[in-house]
Amino acid sequence: MFAYLLRRLLYAIPILLGVNLITFALFFVVNTPDDMARMQLGVKRVTPEAIEKWKTERGYDKPLFLNPAVSGVGVVTDTIFFAKSARMFVGDFGRAEDGRDITREIGLRMGPSLAIALPTFILGLFVTVSFALLLAFFRATYLDFWGVVLCVAMMSISGLFYIIGGQYLVSKLWRLVPISGYAVGLDAWKFLILPVVIGVISGVGASTRWYRTIFLEEIGKDYVRTARAKGLSEPTVLFRHVLRNAMIPILTGVVVVIPLLFMGSLLTESFFGIPGLGSYTIDAIQAQDFAVVRAMVFIGSGLYIAGLILTDISYTFVDPRIRFDR
Amino acid sequence: MKFLPVLLWSDALIWFLAIAGTILGALSWRNAPLRAAWRRVGSSRTGMASATLLSVFLLVGLLDSLHYRPRLESGGQDQPVAYAVEVLSLLDAIAAPLRTRNEKTYSAPLATRAYAKESIEVVDADGRVHAERVFPRLKFGGAHLGNDEGKRAEDVLRRVLSAGGLAFGLLGLVSFGVSIWLARGQKVSPGQSWRLIWKGETEFAWNAVLITLGALLLVLLPVLALCVDYHVFGTDKVGQDVFYQILKSVRTALVIGLVTTLVTLPLAIGLGVLAGYFRGWVDDVIQYLYTTLSSIPGVLLIAAAVLMMQVIIDTHPQWFSTAAERADLRLLALCFILGLTSWTGLCRLLRGETLKLRELEYIQAAQAFGVADLRILLRHILPNLMHIVIIALVMDFSNLVLAEAVLSYVGIGVDPTMISFGTMINNARMELAREPMVWWSLAAAFAFMFALVLAANLFADVVRDAFDPRTAGAS
């Protein structure tokens, strides 16, 4: 197990390196720092001095990969690549356009993001798995048919509609909870309840339908027939046998997103004014803050790889056939 | 010439896709299993109903993909011919009344008066002038009524009823035509084939097509009858007709949903098949490539790439001669980026399937006979992967349409000057805070997007059931 984990962790390094190279190429090779400076300072009436100043302030005035001007290790370290990309591996993301330290900002914003994403995830998983089991229990009946139709219809509605509609109905018309905002501590519940409910509802359609297919596939297998032949009742078959065996394909899709919960949700956070990582990203995109976007890309892919490893570990818990000792 | 044809890049691609799709459809008809699968799609009522709706959207999109620049009226004979900078499409020409009759600002659906009060100078009976706060009459909405504004309800009802009657008449005519046509092919009397159609006993789901067509006519004809003299879905902040914006959004959604596949397909098919067939270091490299790309969260990768594209576009204004060209190129770049970030899933599927296929006896027999690798790939492996490709194509379409709206909201979608569902929603969402609320723009955008995506989703489901060998036998 340990050797397997170590191998997986080592395999993550070239992938992170690749991500790093891709983002570096996107941000510094496709466009030169001069282009970015002109973009930030306004295309017209910009002096070369202003561009130079902008570049020096942000450390973009160095060469890309190799710096022949300095001697020793500086040839490699005193470059944009080392300062901006390689430093990400030790958690140093530099400063945002407004001068704040990105690493610190990310630490501050993880909490609110998790406060929304974690309840949405757990509640959503519970609701969708129960619905899917219900549909599987009533398979090939009108309830099943109309349930699937409802799922497809719910999938076809834009996520923006759920948010805008929910905010309008609950916050503006009924005045049950504030439209947007955030509070620290237990007071936060009234700001969190609406985004969580909307998050769950907007995900119900697609996931329920997917889990239903997984359950139905499982129900068609021989061991289920055996279980029924033994005289077990349908609920026992569903909960004791089908649900447990369907956990493997469900886990594949679910565990991988758990680390990504830290990143928060772009839309929900920006509509509800929650100071999490999602709204941080949106603000950065809209302000064209390249440093922040680069940092988020790196963290996002790191978390995704962590999710893949977690998925593998979780298999050993639900499927005793899978072992990584070899 | 009265106009100068303009071929935008996206026009060329969308027509290319339409033609290539037709050719591929004809080719797949020659392959027996695929033909059987298409037959299953054709006999599905849900499938044909959604296909009818989709083809209406497609028709609007294709009409909107023929662009030209109208000639400017010149003063004399000897002056050089000049064309307007504005690029119009055939749809713009057809919908000219919708495009040109702009009000000052917001007006509600079917309104004859503006939505906000304005100060208007009124001359009293004794000749004095004073200002009065009133809802001013719209310049075009219901202008034909003159002073009889009270007759609006009557007028609307009359138009809706006569258009509805026309819809029923047309539906009867079309179904009569279809039953005669079917009767000639199958050597039965028209009356018999009419009964077969409505009992649902024809092989092709004609009843679903006709009912959907009837429902569409029942909705569209009244809208068309009204939109000549009213703003059926109201007007937006700058007074533009919302129905016109909806029509224009369809093309943007189609381009995003379809042109993206031009990027995904070659990458996914090429790399997936190569990795699965050759294995070894080729497989390692390709796996590394797609693991790396898919490990970056989609939105962030798109955001990063779009930001960089914006920098390029903004720093090179000399590349574009018209604003339409710039918006168009930006749309294509967005498709390109969406394609680059979304090929990994399909590639993984195809690699897995190829790994399975290459171990089968018929492939090994071909190898033993010394058939070249390229030929094995093209003749024996690729045709057996087509069902996965077709399923992935139709499933992706609706996701891409939905994604466009979100991306435009985040500010990394289409050009702000390009009309799309995303920009419509984005512009309208601020207006919900107004009192009383401006809801029509948002509602119309969501409703039409829902119709398009729902039709695409239902069609995708039917296609998947028909093409997936695991489910194909069941139905």
Residue B355, both tokens: 């790994």
For the ranges B168-177, B198-207, B274-283, the lowest mean pLDDT is seen at: B198-207
Amino acid at B449: M
Task: Give the one of B307, B402, B453 whose C-beta lies nearest to A288's C-beta.
Answer: B307
How many degrees, rounded to 5, is the angle at CA A90 between CA A57 and CA A114?
Answer: 95
At residue A179, the 3 state secondary structure works out as: coil
- CA–CA separation, B354 and A306 (whole Å): 28
Note whether B284 and B351 are within 8 A (CB): no
pLDDT of residue A44: 64
Task: Give the one of B311, B425, B446 whose C-beta lies nearest to A39's C-beta.
Answer: B311
Note whether A62 and A78 are within 8 A (CB): yes
Note whether B406 and B425 are within 8 A (CB): no
Q: Least CA distance to A21: which residue of chain B?
A: B292
E strands, A88-179, where?
none
The structure's pTM equals 0.90
pLDDT of residue A56: 77
Q: How confident is the model at residue B351 (pLDDT cuts 50, 70, 90)?
A: very high
Amino acid at B70: P
Alpha-carbon gap: A38 to the closest alpha carbon of chain B (Å): 8
* Rounded CA Rg of chain A: 25
Q: What is the pLDDT of residues B199-244, one digit of tens each?
A: 888 888 888 999 999 999 999 999 988 888 888 888 888 888 899 9
pLDDT of residue B473: 52
- CA–CA separation, B46 and B461 (whole Å): 9
Residue A237, both tokens: 């078959």
* B144: Cβ contacts below 8 Å, ≥ 6 apart: B229
Which residue ranges in chain A fall short of pLDDT 70? 42-45, 71-76, 323-326
pLDDT of residue A211: 93
Contact list in B for residue A157 (CB cut-off 8 A) is: 446, 450, 453
Note whether A304 and A256 are within 8 A (CB): yes
Quick one: B92 exposed, middle or buried, by C-beta within 10 A (0-12, 13-18, 19+)?
buried
What ipTM was estimated for this complex? 0.87
Task: Give the one of A18, A157, A160 whose C-beta lies nearest to B425's C-beta.
Answer: A160
**Cβ–Cβ below 8 Å for A160 and B409:** yes
* B94: Cβ contacts below 8 Å, ≥ 6 apart: B63
- A161 vs B: CB within 8 A: yes
pLDDT of residue A72: 67
* B100: Cβ contacts below 8 Å, ≥ 6 apart: none
**Mean pLDDT of all residues in B137-142:** 80
Quick one: B136 exposed, middle or buried, by C-beta within 10 A (0-12, 13-18, 19+)?
middle
Name every residue in B having a CB less than 8 A away from some CB of A.
288, 291-297, 299-301, 303-305, 307-308, 310-312, 314-315, 317, 398, 402, 405-406, 409-412, 421, 425, 429, 432, 442, 446, 449-450, 453-454, 456-458, 461
* Neighbour-count burial for A29-61, b at 16+ CB within 10 Å, e otherwise: eebebebbbbbbeeeeeeeeeebeebbeebebe
Q: How confident is the model at residue B74 (pLDDT cuts 50, 70, 90)?
A: low
- CA–CA separation, A58 and A84 (whole Å): 10
- CA–CA separation, A192 and B457 (whole Å): 31
Q: How confident is the model at residue B383 (pLDDT cuts 50, 70, 90)?
A: confident
Q: What is the pLDDT of residues A234-274, one digit of tens each?
A: 889 988 889 988 888 888 888 888 888 888 788 889 889 88
Residue B270, both tokens: 């090429």
Q: Which residues pair with B71 in a beta bridge?
A: B83
At residue B5, the 3 state secondary structure works out as: strand
Residue B474 in this model has a pLDDT that exceeds 60: no
Strands B88-89 and B129-134: unpaired
